[in-house]
Structure 1
Amino acid sequence: MSRAAEVRFENVIKRYPGSSAVAVNNVSFTIPAGTLCTLLGPSGCGKTTTLRMIAGLEYPSEGRVLIGGKDVSALPPAERDVSMVFQSYALFPHMNVLENVGYGLTISRQPKARVREAARAALASVGLSGFEERLPSELSGGQQQRVAVARALVLEPAVLLFDEPLSNLDARLRRKMREEIRDLQQRLGVTVAYVTHDQAEALAISDKVIVMNQAVIAQEGTPRDLYESPASDFVAGFVGEANRLPATLSHREGAMARVTIGSATLSLPHRGAAEGAVRLAVRPEAVSLLDATDPSAVLRGKVAKAAYLGGLMEYTLATEAGEVFVIDPETSRPRGVGEEVGLSLGQRGVAVLPA
């Protein structure tokens, strides 16, 4: 599949008649052709409405939606060259797998031989050759999800849309299916817009992530950008775990500044923060536990909670800077509740939060 198209929003606003609330508020972004972009955010943030405006299931109140450089803002779904995989899969229970996959071509009055050939090819692309005669009720959840993807792919869309497609699956199957979706997208080169509220899912599969909050874009960038350089307190807390700790910023020079936390002084990019009191976003894996008497400790505290998770330990620590959550790969010597410890910070996973 080589007809991948760029998706672009230009100052898009979505209001619903009879409501004073704005579902999407002056949103602009670009999804490059042939990439997988995830719209990530909490319930009610506007991500699904944004996806539906790409699909043509909703129309913008203001602004423009462009696909492949063409303004499609007022076009119906059938004229947009997009296909959508819904959260519920929406398979017809009385049709077998082959009939479900070929349904879109059938209603467009394609020759029966062409429909069967295209449906079999789409099933092969998602690893379901040999399942043609089965009914949806005879398939597992993961297999049903693949049928829904094949039904979307058979139309050879320029843009493929996913609306929380893995939310009905258990944790292990979700991980497997997200890998399959990413592999399929890279193999076919199709443009994908993918909606989820699952941060791990977004980080694992995306070329680009757009984080939405309260109808606007909070931040967009690569998964690494968002995780290592969150633009706000909201993004730091929503994209993975983060401790937000008080610190003092001083001596700005170029892009760098001196940041004091506890008894340590760090050199960090100031990211636009002014001198004075600031907050640091500290990822749990950036914190190392030391003996309480270790002179290199940045902070000192006491273990309030400890949990063994097989390959790692999770700790909640009461420190002089507030509560700190820590992920520690060292499981051979677990720290007990009430034990006093020292904390040090690594070079990665620590960022100044812009004002």
Structure 2
Amino acid sequence: MTTTKAAEVRLEGVGKRYGNVTAVKPLDLVIEGGTLVTLLGPSGCGKTTLLRMVAGLEQATDGRILIGGRDVTLLSAGERNVSMVFQSYALFPHMSVLDNVAYGLISSGFRKKEAHAKAEATLETVGLKGFGARLPSEMSGGQQQRVAVARALVLEPEVLLFDEPLSNLDARLRRSMREEIRALQQRLGVTVIYVTHDQAEALAVSDRIIVMRNAEIAQAGTPAELYSAPDNVFVATFMGEANHVRGAVTALDGDMADVALGPLHMRLPHRGLPVGAADIVIRPEAVRIAESGLPARVARATYMGSQMEYHFATEVGEIFATSPDRAHRRAPGEDIALTFDPEGIMVVRP
């Protein structure tokens, strides 16, 4: 199977209002051709509205949308050469899998024989060779998801859109399906815009992640950038587990700062923040039990099989930590001290 050349998606001042309610504040965004970009954020942040504007299912109130350099702002969904995979899959229950996949081609004027041949080839692409005669009800949730992807791919879109595609699957199947979607995207080189509220899903599949909050972009970057260098407390705590505590920047020296966390003093990048009280984010895996440091008491200790989870009471607040060391378990009530790996602790904006 071949796809149309991967297209760049460019949003210029694109926004959406419903009366007095702003669903998406005007924003600029460029999605490079052949990449998988995830719109990530909590419910109501505007990510699905933004996706639907790219799809042509919602009309932008402001700005322009360009796909492959072509202005599609005023074009209908059928004129945009994009395909969408919905959360519900939206398969026709009375049609065979093959007819489901071929439906869009037949509707657009392909002869049935040619449409079925293309559908068969696309089913093979998603690992469902030989499943064409089945009904959707005879397929597992993961297989139905693949049928929905095949139905979108068979149209050879310039851009493939996913709206919370894995939310109906159990945790183990979600993990395998996100790997399949990522591998398929890389193999075909198609441009993908992917919407989810699941941070682990976004980290696993994305070239870039656009974190949205309150109808605007909070931060955009690679998964590693957003996890290790978040701009603010919201992005830091949304991108995986994080402890948010208050400390102080006591002095600046070039790009570095002297940072105090209770009696513990560290040198960290100041990231443009001034001397004074500061928000500090600590990843659970960066917490270390040490001979000296921030005094702490074990409040809770939980055995999780592959790791230990701890809640420590400290003068700056409760700190949650994970540890792969299951052999030397710390008991509730035990007094210890904490230090932190520099790459897992950061000063951030409020």
1:193-232 mapped onto 2 (5 Å cutoff): 193-232=193-232
1:85-96 mapped onto 2 (5 Å cutoff): 85-96=85-96
TM-score by length of 2: 0.97
Displacement after TM superposition at 1:335 (Å): 1.5
1:15 corresponds, among 14, 17, 20, to 17
Alpha-carbon contact 2:4-2:156 (below 8 Å) kept: no
In 1, distance between residues paired with 2:206 and 2:11?
19
Could you tell me which residue of structure 2 aligns to residue 6 of structure 1?
8
In 2, distance between residues paired with 1:239 and 1:283?
10
In 1, distance between residues paired with 2:41 and 2:138?
34
Alpha-carbon contact 1:272-1:354 (below 8 Å) kept: no
Q: Which AA in structure 2 matches 1:7? A: V
TM-score by length of 1: 0.96
Could you say if the C-alpha distance between residues 265 and 2 of structure 1 is closer, same or farther in structure 2, counting changes exceeding 3 Å?
Answer: farther
Could you tell me which residue of structure 2 aligns to residue 35 of structure 1?
35
1:334 corresponds, among 323, 329, 338, to 329
Displacement after TM superposition at 1:253 (Å): 2.8
Alpha-carbon contact 1:2-1:188 (below 8 Å) kept: no
Displacement after TM superposition at 1:264 (Å): 2.7
Alpha-carbon contact 1:39-1:47 (below 8 Å) kept: yes
Q: Deviations over 1:182-201 (max 9, x none)?
A: 00000000000000000000
Q: Deviations over 1:299-336 (max 9, x none)?
A: 11112222211110111111111010101111112222
1:89-168 mapped onto 2 (5 Å cutoff): 89-168=89-168
Give ranges in structure 2 of 5+ residues lacking alignment. none
Could you tell me which residue of structure 2 aligns to residue 305 of structure 1?
300
Q: Deviations over 1:263-299 (max 9, x none)?
A: 3322211111111111111100010123xxx13x2x1
Displacement after TM superposition at 1:349 (Å): 1.2
Q: Which AA in structure 2 matches 1:269? A: P
Displacement after TM superposition at 1:2 (Å): 4.9
1:227-306 mapped onto 2 (5 Å cutoff): 227-290=227-290, 294-295=291-292, 297=293, 299-306=294-301
Identity of aligned residues (%): 59
Alpha-carbon contact 2:250-2:258 (below 8 Å) kept: yes
Report the secondary structure of 1:234's partner residue.
Answer: helix
Give the root-mean-square deviation of aligned CA atoms: 1.0
Displacement after TM superposition at 1:115 (Å): 0.3
Displacement after TM superposition at 1:339 (Å): 1.7
In 1, distance between residues paired with 2:32 and 2:127?
27
Report the secondary structure of 2:343's partner residue.
Answer: coil
Q: Which AA in structure 2 matches 1:4? A: A
In 2, distance between residues paired with 1:170 and 1:301?
38
Could you tell me which residue of structure 2 aligns to residue 314 of structure 1?
309
Q: Which AA in structure 1 matches 2:318? A: E
Alpha-carbon contact 1:2-1:189 (below 8 Å) kept: no
Count of paired positions: 348
Could you tell me which residue of structure 2 aligns to residue 68 of structure 1?
68
In 2, distance between residues paired with 1:226 and 1:279?
17
Alpha-carbon contact 1:13-1:60 (below 8 Å) kept: yes
Alpha-carbon contact 1:66-1:73 (below 8 Å) kept: yes
In 2, distance between residues paired with 1:42 and 1:222?
19
Report the secondary structure of 2:6's partner residue.
Answer: coil
In 1, distance between residues paired with 2:186 and 2:242?
31
In 1, distance between residues paired with 2:27 and 2:328?
50
Q: Extract structure 1 runs of 4+ deviating beyond 6 A.
A: none
Q: Deviations over 1:142-196 (max 9, x none)?
A: 0000000000000000100000000000000000000000000000000000000
